[in-house]
Structure 1
C-alpha cells in the first residue's frame, strides 16, 4: 500500500469525515487544506440534524422507515434533476452513517424530527446543549487535531491555505498547489485528492452566472463559500451539473437591529418540524403547509407575504420550548426570537387582526391533531392548545427566504470519483464529497441531507482510495 498523503481540500464535515476514515480505518496519512482560518465550514452551523433510516433511534420511537422510502422522498424532492443512483446510495448508506457517528465518536443522536418533504421522522440530533452540526464537527475535528499533535506523520492540517491549482500527469493527479496567508506558494505531491470545498452561495459572481434571479437575496453562507472547488474542477474538465439549482431556504431570521443585512442567521427547519407555524403579517393567518419542501414554502412566502421584505412570522408554543430550549434560548440571546403574550404580538407586528382573532387562528391549528389541516400539514406537534387567551405567551421571530445551498457541482459516481464529460472518471485519484459535488439532491435538497451527504460520500471517497491503493 502506498504511504503518500491524501490531500483533502476543505474542513467541513465532508473533509473531516474523509480524513477520519482514511486515518482511523485505513491508516493512510492525510494533509488537510482550507483557505479559512478555522475548521468547520458551513457544516458547523447545521442546526436541524442528520438523516438516517432504519436506525436504533427510529426503532426506539417505533418509527417504521426504510432506505427505499427515504430514496423515494429524495427523488420526489429532486423533481427530475440530479442522479438517482447517487440518491439511492445516500439513502442506502444512511443507517451506516448514523451508526459510524455513534460508535466511532460516541455521539448520542437519540432524538428525531420530521422535516419538510420527509414521510417520517428521520432527522437525528442529540439530546444535550450542542447544535447537531457543531457537535458532529467538533467530535471529528478534535480527533484529527489530537492526531496532528501526536502523530504529525499521519495528520497535517494547514489553515489559511488556498488551493490554486491541481497538477496531473498521464491521466492521474500528481500534485496540489496552494497559497498561504502570506501569498507564498507551496506544492504537495499527491496521487489522491478529495475536494470537500463546499458550495458557492456567497459568491455574487457565481450566482449572477448560474442563478441571476437570486443575486439580491441575503444568504446564510460564510464568506468562504465562493465556489473555488467548482472552478478548479471545471478547469480540469469536470462535468458540472445542476449549477442553476440553488436552494432558497424559506426561513432566515431577520435581525431587528440590522434588518437589511445581506447575511442572515438560519432559522433551523427543526423549528417548524417540531411545531412552529408561519403567519402572514399582512393577514395574521397561516398560508402554507410549513412542512412541505423548502422550495414550495419559499414560493408561498414570496407570493403571499409583504413584498418589500418577503417577511413571515415564525410562531412557536411554550410547549415547544421544552423540546428546543437550548436553541430558543440561543435565538433569544441573539434577539432573533422574542417571548411575548399574543396581545403584544398583535401590536408589535402591527397585525390586521385583534388578539382574540389571533387566538382563534392558533386554536384552529391546534385542532388539526384530530382533523385534517386544510393546508395539508400532517405533523402537528407542540400545538398551542384550545384554551389560549390574549395573555398566552408564544415565541416569535421574523423570517425571510435566504440563499442557502447549491445543489449543483462536479458530477461524481457512487465511488465519489469526479466524472468528466465522457461520463468516465476524469482523473485517477480525483474525488469529491459534499456540496462541491452535484447530482445528489437534484433541484431541491431535503433538510438533514447535507450532513448526511458529507458523511456518506466522505466515507465512500476514503474507501475508494484505500481499495485503489491495495
Structure 2
C-alpha cells in the first residue's frame, strides 16, 4: 500500500480530512496528536456549524444564500484575510452540512442566529449532545473502528508530538518525525502532510509576541493550543497572515468560587442567539446589541461595564432553557449559572434597579416592535407576563481569549503558501485554526467547525487527486 497521508491534529479539521480520505478515496492515513485524547478544541464547540442555503433552512422558510453569508463574513473580517477563502467557505457551507448529514447521519436540524449573521444559519442537532461533541465523537468513531479492523488504512497515534517535517531540495514533502510519550523518536515516510494542529490561544509566549495586550485575559483554550503548527510552518517558510488578529469572546463564564481562574468555560453564543441578553452591573440595564459581532460586544463590556473586574451579566428566560436544556443544566451543575426570580437576582447580584423596573425592561425587550439597540432578532424567551416573581437564568461573564484568526496562509486547495504566495512544498496542506486568511479580523460564530470541514475535505480531495495521478 502507498505511504500514508500524515495528519497532524485530531480536532475536527483532522477528522474531516481523514474521513474524506478514507471513506471517499480509500487513502491510508496516520493521525498524530500530542494530546492523550481525540477532539482538540472542536469537541467543546457549543453553538453549532454554519451552512447557507441548506435543506434545513428551506424547510423552515429561511431565505439564505452563499452570497449573503459571504457578505456577512467579509463585513466581519474588516478588510483582513483572504476573500477567495471566505468565498469558498460560504459556497461550500451547504455541502459541509450535507456531508455530515448524509455520511454520518447527523440531524443538524435546529437553527440559531448568532452575532454578525443576517439570518439563522448555525446548525445543531436536536438531542442531548452539544454540536462539537456530537460531530467529533461521530467522526472519530468511524476512524477508531477502521484503526481496529484495518490498521494499514488508519493509524491513530496519540501522546505524540511532531518535531520536524522533511522537505526535499525540490520542495516536496518526504517524511515526518515525531516523539512519543516515552521520548522515543519515530519517522514516517510520506509525500503528504496536513497540518490540523489548531491555534495558539493558550500560549502566553505567543500572545506576548502577537497581542501583548491580551496576555492577562483568561482563555477558553485547552492546554494543547500552543501554536506548535504555526511555529513549525513559519520556520520552514510559510507565509503567516493576520497573526495579531486574536478573537476575544465576550462571554466566558465566571466561576464565583474561583473568579481569578485563567481558564473559563465558554458561554455558548447560542445563548444570546436564541434571546439571551447582557446587563451592565453598574446600571442593571442592557447596553449593547448582543447579536453584533464578538469584537463589538467585547469592546462594549470593556468600555461600559465596571473596569475593576471586566464583567457583565448574561440573562436568559425559560424559553431558552427549553431549547438548550443540556447546556444550561451543565452550566448550573458547574454553578456558573443560577436559576432565580427577578427579585432574588436584584438582591443577590446587587443590581441598582428594582425588580419591577427590570421586569418592565424585559417586557419591552420581548414586545417592542423595534429593539432599542437594533438587535435583529427579538425573542420572547422570558414569557408573556413578566413580573418580579418571573424566573430567569443568570450568570457572570467576562471577555476571554477564544480563537486565533491568523496562521499559515493557504489557497482554495488548502495548500500552504510561501512568502511569495506560491505553494510552499508539494504535498503540504493545512486546515482549521492553524491556517490563516479565512476569517480576517473577526470570526463569525459557527464558522470554526465549518472551516474545519470545508478545508479539511478540500485538502483530502486535493491529495486524492494527486494520488490518482
- TM (normalized to structure 2)? 0.99
The residue number in structure 1 matching 2:225 is 225
How many Å apart are 1:321 and its aligned residue?
1.2
The residue number in structure 1 matching 2:131 is 132
Q: 1 CA distance for matches of 2:373 and 2:136?
A: 37
8 A contact 1:340–1:394 mirrored in 2: yes
The residue number in structure 2 matching 1:195 is 195
Q: 2 CA distance for matches of 1:212 and 1:196?
A: 25
The residue number in structure 2 matching 1:314 is 314
How many Å apart are 1:384 and its aligned residue?
2.1
Q: Secondary structure at the match of 1:286?
A: coil
Deviates more, 1:144-153 or 1:371-380: 371-380
Number of residue equivalences: 467
Deviates more, 1:121-130 or 1:180-189: 180-189
Deviates more, 1:391-400 or 1:356-365: 356-365
Q: 1 CA distance for matches of 2:163 and 2:380?
A: 50
Q: 2 CA distance for matches of 1:291 and 1:143?
A: 36
8 A contact 1:274–1:382 mirrored in 2: no
8 A contact 2:339–2:393 mirrored in 1: yes
8 A contact 2:3–2:191 mirrored in 1: yes
The residue number in structure 1 matching 2:301 is 301
Q: 1 CA distance for matches of 2:453 and 2:387?
A: 46
The residue number in structure 1 matching 2:173 is 173
How many Å apart are 1:72 and its aligned residue?
0.5
Q: 1 CA distance for matches of 2:324 and 2:467?
A: 46
8 A contact 2:311–2:397 mirrored in 1: yes
Unaligned runs of 5+ in 2: none
8 A contact 2:371–2:378 mirrored in 1: no
Alignment of 1:277-356 (within 5 A): 277-356=277-356
TM-align CA RMSD: 0.8
The yes-or-no answer on 1:405 pairing with 2:408 is no
How many Å apart are 1:386 and its aligned residue?
5.2
Alignment of 1:368-447 (within 5 A): 368=368, 371-385=369-383, 387-447=385-445
How many Å apart are 1:363 and its aligned residue?
1.4
Unaligned runs of 5+ in 1: none
How many Å apart are 1:194 and its aligned residue?
0.1
How many Å apart are 1:383 and its aligned residue?
3.3
Q: Secondary structure at the match of 2:433?
A: coil
8 A contact 1:177–1:188 mirrored in 2: yes
The yes-or-no answer on 1:51 pairing with 2:54 is no
8 A contact 2:294–2:442 mirrored in 1: yes
After superposition, the C-alpha distances for 1:270-310 in whole angstroms (9 at most, x for unaligned) are 00000100000110000000000000000000011111111
- TM (normalized to structure 1)? 0.98
Deviation >3 Å, runs of 4+ = none
8 A contact 2:85–2:438 mirrored in 1: yes
Q: Secondary structure at the match of 2:402?
A: strand
8 A contact 2:195–2:430 mirrored in 1: yes
After superposition, the C-alpha distances for 1:189-237 in whole angstroms (9 at most, x for unaligned) are 1100000000000000000000000000000000000000000000110
Q: Secondary structure at the match of 1:198?
A: coil
The residue number in structure 1 matching 2:67 is 68
